[in-house]
Structure 1
Amino acid sequence: MSEKSNTYFISDLHLGMDSDRDCRVREKIVIDWLNSVRKDAMAIWFLGDVFDYWFEYRHVVPRGFTRFLGKLGEMADEGTDIHFFTGNHDIWIFDYLPSEIGLTVHREPLIREFNGKKFFLGHGDGYSPMDLGYLFIKRIFKSRFLHWCYARIHPNAATAFARWSSKRSRDSRNLPEYMGIEKEDIIRYSREHSTKNPDIAFYLFGHRHLAYDVEINQHTRVICLGDWITNFTYAEFNGERLELKKFFKDRGNIIYDRL
């Protein structure tokens, strides 16, 4: 087996957001991608919203995603480190996936060094000055008491309500296209953060469902990972270069140009 040397970053799969048939189609595309990186993947970082909804009861977890979770388990058994950030859709991931697959869950942004280069990693939500209300709600959703209360609801009712709420939220808001360096919240945050942390080479986020790679100074880039609903994009770090790519099973992987 070839040496595993690459680190991959991927975000916003939103598995479970569509009909069972459409979900299986997208799940199969994700599995095809996992198979394509399996031999050289030292680590895979999922930067949030892997699932459109996730809630763990003591003895019950959401139905579906069997092939995806099985593939992650296989890769973990083969030595690939799997990391999950919780996003705003799957904030209630607890101990089931770590115990069954062996992955590591992260709930807050972090700085991690890979081969001498520092990365800032996070889901990407909560960086807008207008997000104070959202951040308050997020704190409530993190409370153990609310988790306990929600767990009293029957899984069928809780799942139906969560899927209805998620669909209603998507239907009621249109994510804007790329707004430029001055207006993109994660770029503005990264520029400010970088002034005090000039040794960070890369800022990686999801959440925006846009794929872009932006230089904010001579030594620092901001990468937004897109999604696996329409973009099918990810980032690959080979120890020297970080590249934003688009997955095409039959045509190889296309590298995104920087903005």
Structure 2
Amino acid sequence: MLPTPCHVIGDVHLGVATLDSERALLRLLRDIPAQARSVVIMGDLFDFWFAWRYAMPRIGFRVLAALADLHDAGIPVLWIGGNHDCWGGEALQRETGARYTLDPWRGPIGAWDTLLAHGDGLREVEDAPYRRLRTVLRHPWSNAAFSWLHPDLASRIAMQSSKTSRKGRARDGGAGLLAVATAALTATDGPRLVLHGHSHVPTLVHAGAGVYGNAGAWYLDHQYLVIEDARISRRQWDDSGEHVVLDVVERPS
């Protein structure tokens, strides 16, 4: 179980995010001990991450340190791996203290029965080719071969190849993931809250018998979600450090 209030952050894409976006995220993370009791990262915190045996990417070092500080302060961090930061979750978990998983996560966040998944590969028809590619990219043999490349060269290759999957927002406006979530929220034994990332489309709506949310892409608009027992709000961090409430959805009775 994750306690509330819970801050949900998605698709930061450190490595291509601006320095201002990274600084804003650091300010948000440093404010969390006074505002929240848990944190969820919905994947793609990095535009690329790989855990070599003796090397560590320098990108996002301060953000990882801030997550470790949250863990040390007793604030649990749940990290749902995305399609850009799926290689080396064990190292991320060890260094930050976050709970890292590539599998969908279901459990209570406060009073909400929640299902979390990054969102890559969930659309049945449209994502079929990607699911086949993902099987290859995440295979232990592929990881072993990639690990033999020098980190500078490997990172350059990965950053170039990731351009198409990080540009802007989903062409379907997030409709595909909303449909996937609605099906789960309509099921008899389904959750009452489904959260995704991946589409980069900020969303907070009633769907099925519950609520669907997507924090959007921090690197595009500095939005995030706050889960409380009675409601969920979609918020935006502005340049003054204020938390602007954009939308609120009450928990269905």
TM normalised by structure 2 equals: 0.89
2:196 equivalent to 1:240: no
SS at match of 1:256: strand
Pick aligned residue for 2:143 from 143, 147, 155: 147
Name the structure 1 match of 2:221: 231
Contact kept in structure 2, 1:225 and 1:233, CA below 8 Å = yes
Between the aligned partners of 1:92 and 1:119, the Cα distance in structure 2 is 25
Contact kept in structure 2, 1:109 and 1:121, CA below 8 Å = yes
Map 1:126-165; keep pairs closer than 5 Å.
126-128=121-123, 129-165=125-161
Map 1:66-77; keep pairs closer than 5 Å.
66-77=61-72
SS at match of 1:25: helix
- Can you list the C-alpha shifts for 1:28-68, whole angstroms capped at 9, x where unaligned? 11011112322232211101000000001111111122221
Name the structure 2 match of 1:201: 192
Q: Tell me the CA shift for residue 157 of structure 1.
A: 0.9
2:100 equivalent to 1:109: no
Q: Tell me the CA shift for residue 198 of structure 1.
A: 5.0
Q: Which moved more, 1:246-255 or 1:154-163?
A: 246-255
Which structure 2 segments of 5+ residues have no match? none
Name the structure 1 match of 2:176: 185
SS at match of 2:233: strand
Q: Tell me the CA shift for residue 16 of structure 1.
A: 0.5
Between the aligned partners of 1:197 and 1:16, the Cα distance in structure 2 is 42
- Can you list the C-alpha shifts for 1:166-194, whole angstroms capped at 9, x where unaligned? 235556x8732636xxxx11111122222
Q: Quick one: which amino acid aligns to residue 139 of structure 2? A: S
2:50 equivalent to 1:55: yes
Between the aligned partners of 2:241 and 2:61, the Cα distance in structure 1 is 27
SS at match of 2:143: helix
TM normalised by structure 1 equals: 0.87
Residues paired across the two proteins, number: 246
* 160 and 142 in structure 1: CA distance in 2 versus 1, 3 angstrom threshold: same
2:35 equivalent to 1:44: no
Q: Find runs of 4+ consecutive structure 1 residues off by over 3 angstroms.
A: 168-171
Q: Quick one: which amino acid aligns to residue 34 of structure 1? A: L
The Cα RMSD (Å) is 2.2
Between the aligned partners of 1:5 and 1:225, the Cα distance in structure 2 is 17
* 174 and 240 in structure 1: CA distance in 2 versus 1, 3 angstrom threshold: closer
Between the aligned partners of 1:215 and 1:37, the Cα distance in structure 2 is 27
* 59 and 197 in structure 1: CA distance in 2 versus 1, 3 angstrom threshold: farther
Between the aligned partners of 2:190 and 2:43, the Cα distance in structure 1 is 25
Between the aligned partners of 1:100 and 1:67, the Cα distance in structure 2 is 12
Q: Quick one: which amino acid aligns to residue 232 of structure 1? A: H
Q: Quick one: which amino acid aligns to residue 77 of structure 2? A: I
Which structure 1 segments of 5+ residues have no match? none
Contact kept in structure 1, 2:81 and 2:89, CA below 8 Å = no
Contact kept in structure 1, 2:233 and 2:247, CA below 8 Å = no
Contact kept in structure 2, 1:7 and 1:42, CA below 8 Å = yes
Q: Tell me the CA shift for residue 255 of structure 1.
A: 2.1
SS at match of 1:200: coil
Q: Which moved more, 1:53-62 or 1:224-233?
A: 224-233
* 115 and 229 in structure 1: CA distance in 2 versus 1, 3 angstrom threshold: closer
Q: Quick one: which amino acid aligns to residue 80 of structure 1? A: I
Name the structure 2 match of 1:91: 86
SS at match of 1:230: helix
Contact kept in structure 1, 2:41 and 2:80, CA below 8 Å = yes
Between the aligned partners of 1:5 and 1:195, the Cα distance in structure 2 is 24
